[in-house]
Structure 1
Amino acid sequence: MSQLTHKNVHNYFKLNGYHLNADDLCRVGYSFIKEGDVYERAIGEFFLDWFDEKDYIEMTTSGTTGLPKLVRLEKKAMIQSALATGDFFGLEPGNKALLCLPTQFIAGKMMLVRSLILGLDIDVVSPSTEPLALNTTQYDFVAMVPLQVQNSIEKLKNVKKLIIGGAKIDSALEEKLLPLKTEIYETYGMTETITHIAAKKVGERAFSILPNVRITKDDRDCLVIFVSSISEEPIVTNDLVELINDNQFVFLGRIDNVINSGGVKLIPEQIESKLIGKITNRFFVTGVPDSILGEKLILVIEGEKQDFAPDFFDVLGKFEKPKEIVFVPKFKENENGKLLRKSSLV
Structure 2
Amino acid sequence: MSSPTYLNVHNQFKLNGFHLDRDDLCRVAYSFIKEGDDFERPVGHFLLDWFDHNDFIEMNTSGSTGIPKVIRVEKQAMVNSALATGDFFELSPGDKVLNCLPVKYVAGKMMLVRGFILGLDMDFVAPTARPLKNNDTPYEFSAMVPLQAQNSIGELHQVRKLIVGGAKINATLEKELQNLPGDVFETYGMTETVSHIAAKKVGERPFTVLPNVAVTVDDRSCLVISAPAISADVIVTNDLVDLISETQFIWKGRIDNVINSGGVKLSPEQIEEKLYKQLDRRFFVAGVPDEDLGERLILVVEGSPYVLPEGLFNHLDKYEKPREVVFVAQFSETGNGKIIRKATLGL
CA distance in 1, matches of 2:227, 2:300: 38
Determine if contact 1:161/1:182 at 8 Å carries over to the other structure. Answer: yes
Matched, 1:333 2:322: no
> Aligned pair in 2 of structure 1 residues 212, 65: CA closer, same or farther (>3 Å)?
farther
Determine if contact 1:64/1:237 at 8 Å carries over to the other structure. Answer: no
Structure 1 stretch displaced more, 300-309 or 140-149: 300-309
Alignment match, 2:245: 245
CA distance in 1, matches of 2:308, 2:197: 41
Structure 2 counterparts to residues 264-303 of structure 1, below 5 A = 264-303=264-303
Alignment match, 1:114: 114
Alignment match, 1:62: 62
Alignment match, 1:141: 141
Determine if contact 2:222/2:240 at 8 Å carries over to the other structure. Answer: yes
Alignment match, 1:105: 105
Determine if contact 1:95/1:121 at 8 Å carries over to the other structure. Answer: yes
CA distance in 2, matches of 1:65, 1:2: 39
Segments of 5+ residues of structure 1 without an aligned counterpart are: none
Structure 1 stretch displaced more, 54-63 or 144-153: 54-63
Determine if contact 1:206/1:250 at 8 Å carries over to the other structure. Answer: yes
Deviation at 1:30, TM superposition (A): 0.8
Structure 1 letter corresponding to 2:163: I
Determine if contact 2:114/2:120 at 8 Å carries over to the other structure. Answer: yes
CA distance in 1, matches of 2:77, 2:24: 24
Segments of 5+ residues of structure 2 without an aligned counterpart are: none
Determine if contact 1:64/1:190 at 8 Å carries over to the other structure. Answer: no
Structure 2 counterparts to residues 14-53 of structure 1, below 5 A = 14-53=14-53
Determine if contact 2:188/2:196 at 8 Å carries over to the other structure. Answer: yes
Determine if contact 2:331/2:344 at 8 Å carries over to the other structure. Answer: yes
CA distance in 1, matches of 2:309, 2:52: 63
Alignment match, 1:229: 229
Structure 2 letter corresponding to 1:27: R
Structure 1 letter corresponding to 2:31: S
> Aligned pair in 2 of structure 1 residues 158, 204: CA closer, same or farther (>3 Å)?
same
Deviation at 1:3, TM superposition (A): 4.3
Determine if contact 2:62/2:334 at 8 Å carries over to the other structure. Answer: no
CA distance in 1, matches of 2:58, 2:228: 19
Percent of residue pairs bearing the same amino acid type: 62
Deviation at 1:304, TM superposition (A): 2.9
Determine if contact 1:144/1:165 at 8 Å carries over to the other structure. Answer: yes
> Aligned pair in 2 of structure 1 residues 187, 19: CA closer, same or farther (>3 Å)?
same
Deviation at 1:166, TM superposition (A): 0.8
CA distance in 1, matches of 2:99, 2:116: 13
Structure 1 stretch displaced more, 324-333 or 264-273: 324-333
Alignment match, 2:256: 256
> Aligned pair in 2 of structure 1 residues 309, 232: CA closer, same or farther (>3 Å)?
closer
Structure 1 stretch displaced more, 92-101 or 326-335: 326-335
Alignment match, 2:4: 4
Determine if contact 1:208/1:249 at 8 Å carries over to the other structure. Answer: yes
Q: TM-score, normalised by structure 2?
A: 0.96
CA distance in 1, matches of 2:65, 2:217: 14
Alignment match, 1:320: 320
For residue 39 of structure 1, give the secondary structure of its aligned residue in structure 2: coil
Structure 2 counterparts to residues 173-184 of structure 1, below 5 A = 173-184=173-184
Determine if contact 1:136/1:158 at 8 Å carries over to the other structure. Answer: yes
Alignment match, 1:344: 344
Alignment match, 1:13: 13
Structure 2 letter corresponding to 1:61: T
For residue 11 of structure 1, give the secondary structure of its aligned residue in structure 2: coil
Structure 1 letter corresponding to 2:135: N
CA distance in 1, matches of 2:281, 2:196: 29
Determine if contact 2:82/2:113 at 8 Å carries over to the other structure. Answer: yes
Determine if contact 1:184/1:202 at 8 Å carries over to the other structure. Answer: yes
Determine if contact 2:64/2:340 at 8 Å carries over to the other structure. Answer: no
Structure 2 letter corresponding to 1:178: Q
For residue 314 of structure 1, give the secondary structure of its aligned residue in structure 2: coil
Alignment match, 2:211: 211
Q: TM-score, normalised by structure 1?
A: 0.96
Matched, 1:168 2:168: yes
For residue 313 of structure 1, give the secondary structure of its aligned residue in structure 2: coil
Deviation at 1:64, TM superposition (A): 6.3
> Aligned pair in 2 of structure 1 residues 288, 65: CA closer, same or farther (>3 Å)?
closer
Question: Cα RMSD (Å) of the superposition?
Answer: 1.5
Matched, 1:78 2:101: no
For residues 68-108 of structure 1, what are the alpha-carbon distances to aligned partners after superposition, in whole Å with 9 as ceiling and x for unaligned? 32222111111111110000000011000111111111111
Alignment match, 1:195: 195
Determine if contact 1:65/1:238 at 8 Å carries over to the other structure. Answer: no
Structure 1 letter corresponding to 2:150: Q
For residue 277 of structure 1, give the secondary structure of its aligned residue in structure 2: helix
Determine if contact 2:223/2:236 at 8 Å carries over to the other structure. Answer: yes
For residues 41-85 of structure 1, what are the alpha-carbon distances to aligned partners after superposition, in whole Å with 9 as ceiling and x for unaligned? 111111111122211111122246754322221111111111100
Structure 1 letter corresponding to 2:28: V
Deviation at 1:250, TM superposition (A): 0.5
> Aligned pair in 2 of structure 1 residues 319, 65: CA closer, same or farther (>3 Å)?
closer
Deviation at 1:230, TM superposition (A): 2.3
